[in-house]
Amino acid sequence: MYVILGGTGRVGSETARALLDEGQEVTIVTRDARHGEDLKKAGAKVAVANILDVDALRRVFQAGKRAFLLNPPADPSGDTDKEERENVAAIISALNGSGLEKVVAQSTYGAFDGERCGDLTVLHEFERALERQSVPAAINRAGYYMSNWAGMAEPVRESGILPSFFPTELPIPMVAPADLGKVAARRLMSGTDDVGIEYIEGPDRYKTSDVAAAFGEAMDCKVEVQEVPRDALEDTFRDFGFSNEAAASYACMTYRLIDGKTMPADEPTRGDVTLEDYLASLLG
């Protein structure tokens, strides 16, 4: 049986679906028993546990043989780095005595050793902690999630404007949750010698102008990109309700992407879902 952390989120749910499609037994972990109804109908079991409850999480792991590990994003109104590092510590502690034979962890392009740069530094710490513990660990580093654009759908529909933290013509490695789920499922089912880092992105690299065009095609309207100036990033995040700490971390991540510091070190595995198909599906 496979245990999926973050099983009701975009990547976790796609991982669960890919495993269910292969006829595997799946348990998704959620903090809210009301979530995951669609996956329950598809055959998944649901375990209710808070990641920070190490004993409860370990008991869930002990019921399975392999696990997909995903550090859920913290509420940006608080100190995201602090909360997400606490999550990492709890997950690693729960692996001790879990009896799992292998784990697959979701990470990100550009992960590096440092402090206060959001996922880039928190997930690097996650990777290193997994290397130091005894359960064989596969690491999936993903390009920029196409699903990050999902929250812009209604504002774009209403205004015809797509705000962007990135230069309009900057090519960015992007990937759909479904492709990440398929790779995660493959590595969960592969041998215990399939460990280490694998990079995953979509079939092509896309610019913000491509995102605007895809929104426009799906909505049958003209969409224009509105760039947020680099020196206004932190203030803009704060205007969105981010704490000072979260605004600084998210700005740091954005700077590094813009500056080309989040590109893959090796040739990536390429998924099948195009940006155009993803946004068209998202918008129905």
Could you give the number of structural domains in the chain? 1
Which pLDDT belongs to residue 198?
A: 98
Distance in angstroms between the alpha carbons of the first and the last residue of the chain: 33
Q: Is residue 48 part of a domain?
A: yes
Which of 28-42, 90-104, 147-161 is the least confident region?
28-42
Range of the domain at 86: 2-146+175-201+260-272
Which pLDDT belongs to residue 272?
A: 98
Give pLDDT tens digits for 184-214.
999 999 999 999 999 999 999 999 999 999 9
pLDDT over 70 percentage in the chain: 100
Q: What is the CATH number of the domain that holds 27?
A: 3.40.50.720
Q: Is residue 216 part of a domain?
A: no
Q: Across residues 266-272, what is the average pLDDT?
A: 97
The single-letter code of the amino acid at 225 is: V
Cα gap 168→207, rounded to integer Å:
6
Q: Is residue 211 part of a domain?
A: no
What residues does 45 pair with on adjacent strands?
A: 27
Q: Is residue 59 part of a domain?
A: yes
**CA distances to 7, 80, 146, 225 from 216, in Å:** 31, 33, 16, 11
Cα gap 172→193, rounded to integer Å:
31
Q: pTM of this prediction?
A: 0.96
Q: Is residue 229 part of a domain?
A: no
Please say if the pLDDT value at position 26 is more than 80.
yes
Cα gap 245→76, rounded to integer Å:
9
Q: Is residue 55 part of a domain?
A: yes
Which pLDDT belongs to residue 278?
A: 97
Q: Is residue 227 part of a domain?
A: no
Contacting residues for 170 by C-beta, under 8 A, at least 6 apart = 207, 208, 258
Which pLDDT belongs to residue 90?
A: 98
Which pLDDT belongs to residue 284?
A: 81
Which pLDDT belongs to residue 203?
A: 98
The single-letter code of the amino acid at 183 is: V
Q: Is residue 265 part of a domain?
A: yes
CB atoms < 10 A from the CB of 158, how many?
A: 8
Q: Across residues 249-256, what is the average pLDDT?
A: 98
